A and B are shown apart, each in its own frame.
Chain A
Amino acid sequence: NAGVTQTPKFQVLKTGQSMTLQCAQDMNHEYMSWYRQDPGMGLRLIHYSVGAGITDQGEVPNGYNVSRSTTEDFPLRLLSAAPSQTSVYFCASINFGWTEAFFGQGTRLTVV
């Protein structure tokens, strides 16, 4: 998807390992957020940011950390991976007027 780069695309972790999912956008969007997508549950908000230096928790923040040191980057950190974190993760970037919204291509994470 245009303007949002999300890496990696696939990842397998062992229980207890940590990792960082990267998300970068080049559209100077204020809003960035992380979602996880599980069958039958839609996309659930993990953390979001309304600008550099500002982050807040979403619906399912436990086990995840974020930071937003620049407008462009919004990494998601899994502190100690658990099988319940097996999911597809999407990063989103949205402009101030909410008229532009782009999602990354997703990260399929499996925790064994």
Chain B
Amino acid sequence: QQQVKQSPQSLIVQKGGISIINCAYENTAFDYFPWYQQFPGKGPALLIAIRPDVSEKKEGRFTISFNKSAKQFSLHIMDSQPGDSATYFCAASDGSRLTFGEGTQLTVNP
């Protein structure tokens, strides 16, 4: 069973637009929520992460929004660029293991 559910499976956005990817979790023991970016043929790379004591974290064009009561978190990519085209994974950790969502393939059209 997938403990972290991610949507959408794929997303197409125009250059300059906002990309939004959503994740939901069930395990209340999760206390660390990272997002990873993966390009074809490469391993995932840590993009941005948040802990549940804050509701939002921003790093450049990337923002995580976190809703603890709803057990949901999302990644917003502002001013999306063709170079952002990749697969994005949300994940959650309980301090010893990292569980991933199914992934979202993002395509940013020029």
Residue pair B102, A1 in contact (C-beta under 8 Å): no
State in angstroms the CA–CA spacing of A33 and B96 once bound together: 10
Decide yes or no: A42 and B42 within 8 Å by CB, A33-B98, A48-B97 being known contacts.
Answer: no
Q: Please state if A42 and B100 are interface contacts (CB–CB under 8 Å).
A: yes
Give complex CA distance A35, B100 in Å: 10
Is there contact, CB below 8 Å, between B46 and A45? no
Besides the known contacts A4-B43, A35-B100, A106-B43, 18 further A-B residue pairs in the complex with CB atoms under 8 A apart: A1-B42, A1-B45, A33-B97, A40-B9, A40-B102, A42-B6, A43-B100, A48-B97, A56-B96, A56-B97, A58-B97, A98-B49, A98-B95, A100-B46, A101-B34, A101-B46, A102-B46, A103-B44
Could you name 15 residue pairs across A and B whose Cβ atoms are closer than 8 Å?
A: A1-B42, A1-B43, A31-B96, A33-B98, A42-B2, A42-B102, A43-B44, A43-B89, A48-B96, A90-B43, A92-B98, A101-B36, A103-B44, A106-B42, A106-B43
